[in-house]
Amino acid sequence: MQKPSHHGGKNVLIDLTPQPLAFDHQATTPCAEEVIEAMAPYWSDHWGNPSSRQHRLGLKASAAVSLARNQLAACLAITPEQIVFTSGATEANNLALLGRARACGHGHLISVASEHRAVLDPLRQLEREGFSVTLLKPGRDGLITAKQLEEAVTSNTILVSVMAANNEIGVLQPLNALAAICQANSIPFHCDAAQAFGHIPFQPDALGLDLVSLSAHKLYGPKGIGALVIKNEIALTPLQWGGGQEHELRAGTLPTPLVVGFAAAARLALVDLESRAVRLRSLRDQLWAGLKQNLPQIQLNGSLEPRLPHNLNITVPGINGSRLHRALRPHLACSSGSACSRGEPSHVLQAIGHSLRDAEASLRLSLGRTTSERDIDAAIQLITSTIHALNP
């Protein structure tokens, strides 16, 4: 609802519609105030091109990028030279998968059927180019095992790609055990960590990872910036050419404000990572307990542990998913799957054994820094009343 207001002799419309409860923080997060402040000078005062080092403006921007690279590397406990900035985790995934495969020329890749489309779609492209791909099927808990990976490895395997934390059901894959299999067979291990970094302790070298995709906007940073972490000995073919930036692997002028914002968001995330995880896990468990008490028929998707502390994914059997989401939409911001799924039924839920109908009748509820107990209580009441109304 909008109400006209007179301001300075002009009619101004003020939106009085209550804001929906925000339970879709895995799709994206708002930029933290500290991140906005860190980026501010590089939109205007320090507007130089970091590749133009012949004058002060360019040198200022170059120094800012260098500092941000060092700061981000410190957050990951790696060397700055391992970081290649990209436009986001999707580009990083493409560079890792396509770049590795094309550098090898032929071979076999292994991944998981519940991966993000930013991994599955490049793998389909590689199949069109003549590479072979094996997708491991997760259990009902959403997890794969080291034994599954070990049995899938062949003498021709050139890359394994397994995400750290699932973007829909939040489960955490056993990266250390999987990395041990890869290391024993001298196979590079890639990990999409867009949902993990900034929310759980995450250090690529300690986990045995060779390639890692990151995104800033999942951890209260800006959209449009991410990174691929690359161990020095991993050969990749670039996806684009034209300037030699980013170690000859990713041509194009770096967006200095976004790079600075990414580093600021990463540093901020580590400051409250532990306390935030404890608080959000408690709120998440409160949400699950309240919903389960009111709606005994609902099902939890994926293992409750190990799981991201801010994720809850549920299915409401026997209800029409389209009607459910349509009824909730004005009051609750949540999703039935990935933000990149265009509203299609979740392939992740189907991969763990759900029918198409049940996949449609599912809710991904993801909490954030601003989520309060009042929000949890309101969400429980809203979801309960909506489901009772749709299925009396």
Q: Give the active site residues.
A: 340
Q: Which stretches does DSSP call E strand in 63-210?
A: 83-86, 108-112, 132-136, 157-161, 189-192
Rounded distance, CA 307 to CA 305, Å? 5
Rounded distance, CA 73 to CA 69, Å? 6
Contact 200, 277 (CB under 8 A): yes
- Give the three-state DSSP class for 289: helix
Order across the sheet with 311-315: list the strands: 299-300, 311-315, 362-366
Of 238, 199, 200, residue with least CA distance to 221: 199
Q: Is the dihedral of CA 175, 180, 181, 182 positive or negative?
A: positive
Q: Is the dihedral of CA 337, 338, 341, 346 positive or negative?
A: negative
What is the DSSP track for 218-264?
A: TTT--TT-EEEEE-TT-----S--SS-TTTTTS-S---HHHHHHHHH
Of 53, 94, 381, 360, residue with least CA distance to 240: 94
